[in-house]
C-alpha cells in the first residue's frame, strides 16, 4: 500500500519527536544510550505533485514565491537577470537584465524589496518589487551564493559552511552560524529558503537539500531528491539541482535546477 505523504507541519513534528536526546533503561536496569540528534539525521524522500514549464535557458540561482508570484534570479555573465515568472506556463512576465561583469546569484523578497546577490563582486542589488526599478546597492565580504530571509534579517550563504544574518537596512552582519552534519562541516551551501523556522539549502552538485537549524547551524534533516534530475532532459554538467521556493499560503514546496525545462512541486515523505 502506498504510504501517505505528510504536510510540512507534520514533517516538522516528526523531526522533533524522532530525534530527542535521551537515555532509556532496559528491564534489567542497564542504561542504554539512544541515538542523539547529531548521530541520527532524518532523511526524507519526495513525490512529484505537479510539474510546470520552466525556461531551459535560465541558469537558476535564486527562487522566491510570495503572494501568488514567482520571482527568479538567473546567473552567468552576460545572461544574468531578475525575473517575474508565471508559474503555470513558465512565461517570463517581467525581466531586468543584470549587466556584465556581474554574475547574479541568490534572491529574496523582504518588505516589498527584492534583494539579489552577485557571485564574486561583493555587491548586491535592491529592487522595488512593484516596479522592478533598482533602488539601492549593498556590499558584503566574500562571495555571494544563496539568499533568503526570516522576516527580519537577510540570510546569506557564500559557498563555505558559514551562513550570515544581515541587517536589511545597514547590511551589517548581525550574527553568523557554522553548518555541521554529525560534526562534519557542510560546505558549498547554495540556494536558500526559510521554511517553518528552518533554512532549506541546496548543496552545489548534490541531489539533496539540507534542513538547517538557524540558531546553531545543525543539520536537522536531509531531503533526498535523487531521481528528480532524470525527469528532465539536460546535458550540461552544470545543470544541477538549484532553486527552492515555498508557497506559505498553500503549503507548496517548489524545486528546480539550472537550465531545467521543468519546475516541480514536490511533497515530502519520511
- Domain-by-domain residue ranges, the chain? 8-269
Beta bridge partners of 50: 265
Pairing mode of beta strands 219-224, 43-53: parallel
Pairing mode of beta strands 189-195, 92-97: unpaired
Radius of gyration of the chain, Cα coordinates, nearest whole angstrom? 19
d(CA 113, CA 133): 10
User: What sign does the dihedral 9-245-146-270 (CA atoms) show?
Assistant: positive
Helix (H), strand (E) at residue 249 = none
What is the model's pTM? 0.84
CA neighbor of 113 nearest in space, from 96, 93, 133: 133
One pLDDT digit (tens) per residue for the chain, 270 residues: 333 333 444 444 443 333 333 333 333 333 333 444 445 899 999 999 999 999 999 999 999 999 899 999 999 999 999 999 999 999 999 999 999 999 999 999 999 999 999 999 999 999 999 999 999 999 999 999 999 999 999 999 999 999 999 999 999 999 999 999 989 999 999 999 999 999 999 999 999 999 999 999 999 999 999 999 989 888 888 989 999 999 999 999 999 999 999 999 999 998
Cα 154 to Cα 79, 98, 114, 162, 267, distances in angstroms: 25, 21, 11, 14, 26
Pairing mode of beta strands 123-128, 113-118: antiparallel
CB 168 within 8 A of CB 155: no
Half-sphere exposure in the Cβ direction for 259 (13 Å, CA) = 10
| Domain over 8-269 is classified CATH 3.30.470.20 | no
CB 253 within 8 A of CB 33: no
What single-letter DSSP state applies at residue 28? T
Amino acid at each position: 500500500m502506498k504510504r501517505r505523504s505528510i504536510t510540512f507541519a507534520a514533517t516538522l513534528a516528526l523531526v522533533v519527536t524522532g530525534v530527542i536526546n535521551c537515555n532509556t533503561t532496559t528491564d534489567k536496569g542497564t542504561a542504554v544510550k539512544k541515538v542523539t540528534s547529531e548521530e541520527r539525521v532524518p532523511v526524507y524522500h519526495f513525490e512529484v505533485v505537479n510539474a510546470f514549464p520552466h525556461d531551459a535557458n535560465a541558469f537558476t540561482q535564486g527562487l522566491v514565491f510570495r503572494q501568488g508570484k514567482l520571482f527568479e534570479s538567473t546567473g552567468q555573465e552576460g545572461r544574468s537577470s531578475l525575473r517575474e515568472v508565471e508559474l503555470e506556463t513558465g512565461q517570463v512576465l517581467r525581466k531586468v537584465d543584470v549587466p556584465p561583469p556581474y554574475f547574479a546569484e541568490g534572491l529574496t523578497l523582504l518588505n516589498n524589496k527584492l534583494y539579489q546577490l552577485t557571485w564574486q563582486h561583493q555587491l548586491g542589488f535592491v529592487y522595488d518589487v512593484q516596479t522592478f526599478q533598482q533602488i539601492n546597492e549593498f556590499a558584503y565580504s566574500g562571495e555571494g551564493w544563496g539568499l533568503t530571509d526570516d522576516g527580519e534579517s537577510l540570510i546569506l550563504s557564500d559557498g563555505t559552511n558559514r551562513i550570515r544574518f544581515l541587517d536589511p537596512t545597514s547590511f551589517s552582519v548581525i550574527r553568523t552560524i557554522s553548518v555541521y552534519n554529525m560534526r562534519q562541516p557542510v560546505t558549498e551551501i547554495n540556494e536558500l529558503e526559510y521554511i517553518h523556522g528552518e533554512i532549506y539549502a541546496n548543496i552545489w552538485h548534490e541531489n539533496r537539500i539540507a534542513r538547517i537549524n538557524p540558531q546553531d547551524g545543525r543539520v536537522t534533516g536531509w531531503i533526498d531528491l535523487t531521481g528528480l534530475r532524470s525527469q528532465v532532459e539536460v546535458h550540461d554538467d552544470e545543470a544541477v539541482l538549484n532553486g527552492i521556493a515555498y508557497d506559505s499560503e498553500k503549503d507548496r514546496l517548489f524545486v528546480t535546477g539550472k537550465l531545467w525545462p521543468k519546475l516541480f512541486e514536490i511533497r515530502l515523505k519520511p
